[in-house]
Amino acid sequence: MSLFTDFYELTMCASYFDNKNFEPATFDLFIRRLPENRSYFLFAGLEQALQYLQSIKFTEEHLAYLKNQGFNQDFLDYLRGFRFTGDVCAVPEGTVTFPNEPLIRVTSPIIEAQLVETFLLNTVNLQTMIATKASRVVHAAKGKTVIEFGLRREQGIDAGMKVARSSYIAGCQGTSNVLAGQVYGIPVFGTMAHSFIMSYPKEIDAFRAFAKTFPNKSTLLIDTYDDISGAEKAAVVAKELEAKGFRLGGVRLDSGDLAQTSKKVRKILDDQGLNYAKIFASGDLDEFKIAELLSNGAQINAFGVGTKMGTSADRPYLDVIYKLCETMTADGSFSPIMKLSKDKITLPGRKQVYRFKNAKGNFEKDIIALANEKVQGEPLLVKVMEKGKLIYNLPSLEEIRAAAAENLSKLPEDYKALTGAPVYPVELSKNLQNLIKTLKRQLTLNEINHGVSNTQA
Amino acid sequence: MSLFTDFYELTMCASYFDNKNFEPATFDLFIRRLPENRSYFLFAGLEQALQYLQSIKFTEEHLAYLKNQGFNQDFLDYLRGFRFTGDVCAVPEGTVTFPNEPLIRVTSPIIEAQLVETFLLNTVNLQTMIATKASRVVHAAKGKTVIEFGLRREQGIDAGMKVARSSYIAGCQGTSNVLAGQVYGIPVFGTMAHSFIMSYPKEIDAFRAFAKTFPNKSTLLIDTYDDISGAEKAAVVAKELEAKGFRLGGVRLDSGDLAQTSKKVRKILDDQGLNYAKIFASGDLDEFKIAELLSNGAQINAFGVGTKMGTSADRPYLDVIYKLCETMTADGSFSPIMKLSKDKITLPGRKQVYRFKNAKGNFEKDIIALANEKVQGEPLLVKVMEKGKLIYNLPSLEEIRAAAAENLSKLPEDYKALTGAPVYPVELSKNLQNLIKTLKRQLTLNEINHGVSNTQA
């Protein structure tokens, strides 16, 4: 994956190399702001980021391609021996976080820290975005099962895999993606498609054929022609299964007014003594639709949620960025760095995030402080790599999922409102505020007022 | 990639196998409707679909996993020998298409056709969505260069690759993604990041360091502190380069009022005789923003377009579906199939799409007809696989890009309006209309009016 990077990372690195700049620097990966209808982030993607940092290197094939792109031999020789040798602190996956909080902090020779930017952003963007979205869907489902069903319209192969992973972290109970089941050990689920029904002359023949193959776990799709008569036929097949000592799993609705239909279908099943048969709903679902269905008394046991969760359709990206926050100066000490573009101020210096909790462990506020400050509260960033070596026990997916559940349970209910949630308080420590003031003054003097003539001096 | 599929594809296939249903069937892959602010699709993703169909098979590792999921040994033995043996017709990549038009038509034993559904949808969804979006961006840029810059926020690794590919097909001139450059031969571009500027004590030192490394192709990012003084410093460095016989490539603006700033920057550069230095703009761009900039007289030579194009942010998925349209009946003839769920009617039978052009070759209308009908117009679907073998010369990426340019040039200008475009006429042939009427009547009689009692007969 070493060429999975923006070209400018390589041109900048070539210039650092050319200008003999091998000094260490620190970069923060963070998310600038909350999208509309998001009130927190559920952080995910660290495992893949760390795998990448441990394995990045350039093959001869890569170097030959870069030579063709005009990079000089000295730099290519440097890349041939390239390994990531830096220190990394990060927030564990499954942590609830907020804007401007460093999620991954990289300290290494500036060439290395620069070169890894694109991959880190790409994997954190996708997984944190989906984990966040999926946590909202799970919250809206109020304890009912949510299965991730979006593979066919997720944005490519890797998205298909990472959406399954991050939505499982967020509390989904499984995925339709079989490969994600195999690779990550996530439970896989599936029912049947309309094509299966339509391939038989009669709907009930399709039901019977499927029930023959899966006598104890069939979920029959009942809306191909008409959901009510579909439910009646499913009940017939369920009774046939009962006669053989089996039990129908349930039925699936994929269209129409799911709240009203599910009530009618529930009655049809219950009237036949099929109280155990579950009603599974799918079709264009997201957190808003699920909340509406439940508030309308939908009789639904499980939701299959696809495209809108799997692409985070209402906001398919995060404002995740990776910014230089300190460089080493000539005297060997680190010097804080800040960006001052309009509306794009960054937080200078090496930082830590502290979380404050009440007696019950519920989150009250966070403080972003300088790393060397003494601050109350629980530090969120932990050291995960030292000199390029992993010094962190990567938690299992189940452990990450449990951490996410614990984090979400400690986030007060208000902040989980689907719309109009209040802003969680994230403060800057006094020292960090003072540093920002000082740097603003310096930058203004150096670069803005004096302009070209002075900067040439 | 054989497990990169929805679990229900496998359960349905297991049931087809169990019920000894190996008869051929035909499925259409098509897009149900146009998203808001889209008036056509630019089809892409066929090459990856065909690679998949040629290579799909199950390893012992896959089979062991599926055994654990409860599939029986007979079916697993069948999967061990699984190969795709069907016929495939498809629209060539780079073709402009419209809703309901079959894009890929698969005829094979129903198990095979069913099993490949998820991957085909996944790859066509992503690439057609991005090619379509990118074609709008390129159109809005009115001949100015557009570079795809979204890698960091595209949805995962595969999306990063396929977005570069499909936006290049659509007319972008290159990508920032170096791996896409290597794999697909797409030109790669990049400038520098704010971090590069900030890592130097003075902005002009950063400019000089970069210009030293790339004396003839530096594009200097001038908005880290203040874009006007940044432009003045870039001009100083450009004159220093001239003195050594080199030429500055240009400058990049990444924030602020790009239209106004670009005019001021142009003047600063021109006043120094730097008319050759290009102005490159980036930052939250899409087709609407580019159109607005150009209508405000922005002096911009090239656009770097990232997240909003790379995720199709205003509509990050297509309503792409894959539907059964015919099965083989007991007498060995094919019988057309239609779905009748509310608002989700599908077109029955094996079909072809015919395009009608005027004397200049401009597109006038399409007719979707039955494959065995005689219809005027140019057929869009070509046979690409026969009995599982590729019988199609896969065009090169440059050829696909040329086909896209040709297609887009023949689509009348009206249909390319960014908003409010008219609906391109897509008609159904008389025979197809009659078939739909007949099937509707049959289905209604069979399944709806008579309900359970009759269907058990």
CATH of the domain at B237: 3.20.20.70
Q: How far apart are CA B79 and CA B61, in angstroms?
A: 12
Q: Would you say residue B306 lies in a domain?
A: no
Q: Is the pLDDT of residue B450 over 50?
A: no
What pLDDT is stored for residue A339 in this prediction? 76
At residue B446 the predicted structure's pLDDT band, cuts being 50, 70 and 90, is low
Residues B324 and B429 in one domain: yes
* Residue where a domain terminates, one of A264, A282, A310: A310
Residues A298 and A337 in one domain: no
Q: Is the pLDDT of residue B440 over 60?
A: yes
- Mean pLDDT (whole number) for A233-248: 98
Q: Is the pLDDT of residue B449 over 70?
A: no
What pLDDT is stored for residue B117 in this prediction? 98
Q: Would you say residue B135 lies in a domain?
A: no
- Which of B15, B172, B195, B204 to substitute to test the interface with A, most A CBs within 10 Å? B195
Q: Are strands B104-109 and B87-90 parallel, antiparallel or unpaired?
A: antiparallel
What pLDDT is stored for residue B443 in this prediction? 75
Identify the closest residue of chain A to B444 by CA–CA distance. A225
Burial class (CB in 10 A: 0-12, 13-18, 19+), A321: buried
- Mean pLDDT (whole number) for B19-44: 96
At residue A447 the predicted structure's pLDDT band, cuts being 50, 70 and 90, is low
At residue A338 the predicted structure's pLDDT band, cuts being 50, 70 and 90, is confident
* Residue where a domain terminates, one of B282, B308, B338: B282
Q: Is the pLDDT of residue B304 over 90?
A: yes
How many domains does chain B contain in total? 2
What pLDDT is stored for residue A201 in this prediction? 86
Average pLDDT of chain B, as a whole number? 95
Instruction: Tell me which residue range forms the domain holding A227.
Output: 131-310
At residue B225 the predicted structure's pLDDT band, cuts being 50, 70 and 90, is confident
Taking CB atoms and an 8 Å limit, are A225 and B21 in contact across chains?
Answer: no
Is A222 within 8 Å of A188 (Cβ atoms)? no
Is B120 within 8 Å of B388 (Cβ atoms)? no
Identify the closest residue of chain B to A215 by CA–CA distance. B15
Residues A154 and A293 in one domain: yes
Residues B268 and B377 in one domain: no
Q: What is the ipTM of this complex?
A: 0.96
- Mean pLDDT (whole number) for A142-165: 98
Those residues whose C-beta lies under 8 Å from the C-beta of residue A287, and which sit 6 or more positions away, are: A133, A136, A137, A139, A140, A418
Neighbours of B449 (CB within 10 A): 10
Identify the closest residue of chain B to A70 by CA–CA distance. B214
- The number of C-beta contacts closer than 8 angstroms across A and B is 363
At residue A446 the predicted structure's pLDDT band, cuts being 50, 70 and 90, is low
Q: Would you say residue A444 lies in a domain?
A: no
Residues B374 and B449 in one domain: yes
Residues A158 and A304 in one domain: yes
At residue A450 the predicted structure's pLDDT band, cuts being 50, 70 and 90, is very low
Taking CB atoms and an 8 Å limit, are A27 and B152 in contact across chains?
Answer: no
Identify the closest residue of chain A to B445 by CA–CA distance. A225
Q: Would you say residue B431 lies in a domain?
A: yes
Residues A209 and A328 in one domain: no
Taking CB atoms and an 8 Å limit, are B213 and A18 in contact across chains?
Answer: yes
List the single residue in A125, A177, A254 with the smallest CB-CB distance to B153: A125
Q: Would you say residue B415 lies in a domain?
A: yes
What pLDDT is stored for residue A266 in this prediction? 98
Residues A116 and A191 in one domain: no
C-alpha distances in Å from residue A61, one per residue of A7, A65, A66, A73: 17, 6, 9, 14
CATH number of the structural domain spanning residue A67: 3.20.140.10
Residues B404 and B334 in one domain: yes
Is B25 within 8 Å of B110 (Cβ atoms)? yes
Which residue from B219, B164, B231, B216 is spatially nearest to B192, judged by alpha carbons? B219
Residues A156 and A301 in one domain: yes
Q: Give pLDDT tens digits for B328-376.
A: 988 889 999 987 766 667 899 999 999 999 999 999 999 999 999 999 9
Average pLDDT of chain A, as a whole number? 95
Q: Would you say residue A442 lies in a domain?
A: no
Task: Using DSSP, state whether B138 is helix, strand or coil.
Answer: helix
What pLDDT is stored for residue A457 in this prediction? 29
Residues A104 and A153 in one domain: no
Q: Give pLDDT tens digits for A311-327.
A: 999 999 999 999 999 99
Chain A CB contacts of B446 below 8 Å: 202
Q: Give pLDDT tens digits for A401-428.
A: 999 999 999 999 999 999 999 999 999 9
Q: Would you say residue A188 lies in a domain?
A: yes
- Mean pLDDT (whole number) for A2-14: 97
Residues A266 and A147 in one domain: yes
In Å, how far is A360's CA from the nearest CA of chain B? 37
Q: Rounded to the nearest 5°, which phi and psi values hold at B355?
A: -110, 135
Q: Would you say residue A456 lies in a domain?
A: no
Taking CB atoms and an 8 Å limit, are A6 and B152 in contact across chains?
Answer: yes
Taking CB atoms and an 8 Å limit, are B155 and A153 in contact across chains?
Answer: no
